[in-house]
Structure 1
Amino acid sequence: MNPLVRAPRRTVAALIGTELLLTFALATPLIATLGLKAGEIDPVGKENLLGLVTAVGALAAFVLNPVFGHLSDRTRSRFGRRRPWILAGLAGGVPAAVIMATATGGLQLVLGWLLAQAAYNAALAALSAVIADRVPPEQQATVSGLFGAAGFAGVTPGLVLVGVLPGNVAALFLIPALAGVLGGLLAWRLLRDDAPVTEAAPVNLRSLLSSLVFDPRLSRGFTVVWVQRFLLQFANALIATFGLFYLMTRLELTTAAAAAVVSATGLVSLLLNVLAAGVSGKLASRTQAYRGFIVVAGLLMAGSMLVKMTAGSLWPIYLATGLAGIGLGVFYAVDLALVIRVMPGSADSARYLGVFNIAKALPQSIAPAVAPLLLTLGSDPVAPAAVKNYFLLYLTGAVAALAATALTPLIRT
């Protein structure tokens, strides 16, 4: 590797800082604020309202990320292709936060979250493409790892803020949104080498619609990495969706005790995510053995599922959390760098990365819908008296993780 081929430090700093602040702005409502606001608006039907809001938001992310990526690829501006979308997207989160903070009905809350998803996905699509645009291939895994670590770490300020201001819902909406604006300003200042684009294909209805689809025949490698991200994120979503109820059913913990365990394991997972992503990205840049890291990640995720399948006490839960935390961190350290290598064309990098982000967003909607069905099939062999079959739930997650791992030899870079 040529040591002189490096992205400017300010570019790397902008990617890390902006991703951290963007995640803070986007994740805090999902962590707590939307649920708190739903409880204020409809104390009786808050679960249904929260489900509606998050479902609409997930659909918006599914559609808008590749669309905004497509628009970013074809933007002709003296300020470049990416910076205008990053700053405008993060600034657009503020009016969305105001709408949600002042919502007095479910429709207003849905509208506010829909606007927030549109704004933040515009910024995310452009920000991810900066790695493809400005970071040399030899350094992409390192930067991808730091970028992934920043995304995991961005959840932490939201957790702290919820603990400091548990009853101030308006502040919980507005503070993260304003932090997001700081991220936009940071990107605007430090990404000034985003070269202006004077020629780009025109945008029309046909091009917008085509940005939502991808022909798998164009790049087998891109398709394989997309499916791997989908399967591993699906497995992870199965862990998260009913984690609280799993502890109450399998280990017979009280609600308060189960909530405490979920909080503790969440912090452990977050710490390991950040460490694994940072270290793995650096190692992958040195070795260029991306596929080996994908295999390790898949096996760790499958191992986590197998431990949870058979757990009858508390300590295996922490072991499973550790395995999953490291596995997910390792995967997100290299998957972005790998997909940049195998995507069909660099001219449409933001569009293809937007399609790639669908593989992360879509399982978060599918897993909560599939999990209740799996829980009702058969009986749990570890806890026969239990009404819900958590053995089958986590077996499905293990199969998904192993399937993702088995696809790795199909990637040819």
Structure 2
Amino acid sequence: MTASPSPETTRPAVSLGFVAIYVLAQFGIWVALLTPVVMTLALRVGEIASEAEKGRWLGIILAIGGFVALVATPICGALSDRTRSRLGRRRPWLLGGLVVAGAGLLLLGLAPNLLLLGVGWIICQAGFNAIQAGCLPILPDVIPVRWQGRVAGMLGMTSTMGTFAGSWITQYTQGSPLLMFLAPFAITIISITILCLILPDRPADGGDDRRLGPIAMLRAIGAPFRDWDFSWAFGSRFLIMMAWSFLLTYQLFFLTDQLSLPKADATQVMVKSMAIIATATIAISLVGGFITDWTGRRKPLVFLAAALEGAGFLTIALAPSVSQFLVGVAMAGIGKGLYFAVDLALLAAILPRPEDSAKDMGVFQIANSLPQSLAPAIAPVILVIGNAHGNGYAAIYIVGCLFAVLGAITICPVRRSR
């Protein structure tokens, strides 16, 4: 009987140049998607809404967009797996998503009112999640197994780098609402187009007639939560990402309203903030990965990382000046870098079923996207309570501190990883 070829031998050969383009494409996605989340969407809301209402409307728009992302991610992924186009399974979603995302960004730049601004953000989320449906599976589809760990590490840094790059670009484009959204997207267009030109892609197998049964899909998504270790790790990631959603979304309003900075000065401070977060995250990720492999221990580092983030958020909440604000950002950035260096290694050790690892890690990503919807949804309530006690936007960072501390505590019951 002839042995079946291994997945490694059936993958097409790829070069280091292809890996570089793949990582650049993921960076291009994040720079165009996260720049509105961190800065430009808040600037547009501030132009259209009143001072008293801008925080509430930003929360509503981001919450709706986060919900769209939560729904679109598994749907687009499942459809991409079954695409039988002559262009392949992934390429149609990369190119189609690029068109949809571009239309959404164009509407964000031109929207004359909050309703159209919200519609533009919904279109953006649908488009970028379609792009991700074509981009993320390239790792298991194309990248050799012996390279996957290193490539995954580089992909993990792209969101932080994209956030910083977007903040830097906004310094020079904030005078034009249209350029604020389209300038970062130029990187997306170039990188995704090059990726499509060199991507070894093929249509889905014609014999694959799996039905998209909603009940079966829901059961598969819920299956890993029957494992307690997975559930605790999911809860920890969810709580940490809730804290970070507060930090990234409300920095601008904290600086302008809490520290009374002019908008132009606040933008400059945000660039410094993003630079600090990017530097700390990338540097500590490399160091943290080495430490966790050397010691073989995951949980203590995850606990320390979450505790550092909580301390950083509390420092921001109590900050009377820009200097203390940046100190808090640095502490949170160090915690973030350490957390993301160790968290996926811990997850890999506790996956319930090795044969379901791709699906279960995909389910785990819900802990990243769900806070994008929930954090802005509850932020207006926190603001009302904070304003009643004279804390304003500082209250959001106090709550972020509590979420981070709970994230540290939640990792403790995990048993299959030290």
TM-score, normalising length: structure 2: 0.77
Q: 2:21 aligns with which of 14, 17, 22?
A: 14
Q: TM-score, normalised by structure 1?
A: 0.78
1:377 to partner: Cα distance: 7.4
Q: Which amino acid aligns with 1:183?
A: S
Q: State the Cα distance separating 1:279 from its structure 2 match.
A: 4.9
Give the one of 271, 275, 279 matched to 2:283.
275
> Is the CA contact (8 Å cut-off) linking 2:298 and 2:417 kept in structure 1?
no
Partner of 1:24: 31
1:116 and 2:124 are equivalent in the alignment: yes
> Which stretch of structure 1 is more off in the superposition, 60-69 or 206-215?
206-215
| Distance change >3 Å, CA 216–CA 109, structure 1 → 2 | same
CA distance in 1, matches of 2:191, 2:290: 24
Give 1:60 shift: 0.4
Corresponding residue of 1:403: 409
Deviation at 1:85, TM superposition (A): 2.2
Q: Tell which deviates more after alignment, 20-29 or 75-84.
A: 75-84
Separation of aligned partners in 1, 2:416 and 2:85 = 36
Taking a change above 3 Å as real, the CA distance of residues 102 and 197 of structure 1, as seen in their structure-2 partners, is same
The answer to whether residue 62 in structure 2 is matched with residue 54 in structure 1 is: yes
Residue 33 of structure 1: which of 37, 40, 43 is its match? 40
Listed as ranges, the matches of 1:171-190 within 5 Å are 171-190=179-198
The gaps in structure 1 that reach 5 residues or longer are 380-384
The one-letter amino acid of 1:14's match is I
Alpha-carbon displacement from aligned partner over 1:313-340 (angstroms, at most 9, x marks no partner): 7665444322211221233345456546
- Check the 8 A contact 2:285/2:341 in 1, yes or no: yes
Identity in percent: 28
Matches within 5 A, 1:149-298: 149-192=157-200, 197-204=205-212, 206=214, 210=218, 213-217=221-225, 219-240=227-248, 253-256=259-262, 259=266, 261-281=269-289, 293-298=301-306
Q: Is the 8 A contact 1:16 1:150 kept in 2?
A: yes
C-alpha displacement at 1:147, in angstroms? 0.8
- Shift in Å, 1:309: 7.0
2:96 aligned partner? 88
- Whichever residue aligns with residue 399 of structure 1, its letter is V
Query: Amino acid of the residue matched to residue 82 of structure 1?
Result: R
1:255 to 1:307, Cα distance in 2 relative to 1, 3 A = closer
Deviations, residues 384-404 of structure 1 (Å, cap 9, x unaligned): x96568595355134223224
- Which runs of structure 2 are paired with 1:322-401 in the superposition (5 Å)? 322-336=330-344, 339=347, 342=351, 344=353, 349=358, 352-370=360-378, 387=391, 390=395, 393=399, 395-401=401-407
Name the count of aligned residue pairs.
402
Shift of 1:86: 2.7
Q: For 1:378 and 1:46, how far apart are their aligned partners in 2?
A: 16
Residue 283 of structure 2 aligns to which amino acid in structure 1? L
Q: Which amino acid aligns with 1:171?
A: L
- Which range moved further: 361-370 or 112-121? 361-370
C-alpha spacing 1:173/1:243, structure 2 compared with 1 (3 Å): closer
> Could you say if the C-alpha distance between residues 206 and 116 of structure 1 is closer, same or farther in structure 2, counting changes exceeding 3 Å?
same
* Cα offsets for 1:106-127 (capped at 9, x unmatched): 3332222111101101222442
Deviations 1:172-212 (A, max 9, x none): 22233333222322332343167854443434352696389
Q: 1:248 to 1:192 in 2, by over 3 A?
A: closer
In 2, Cα distance between equivalents of 1:236 and 1:17: 24
1:362-381 residue CA offsets vs partner (Å, 9 max, x unmatched): 223333454565678799xx
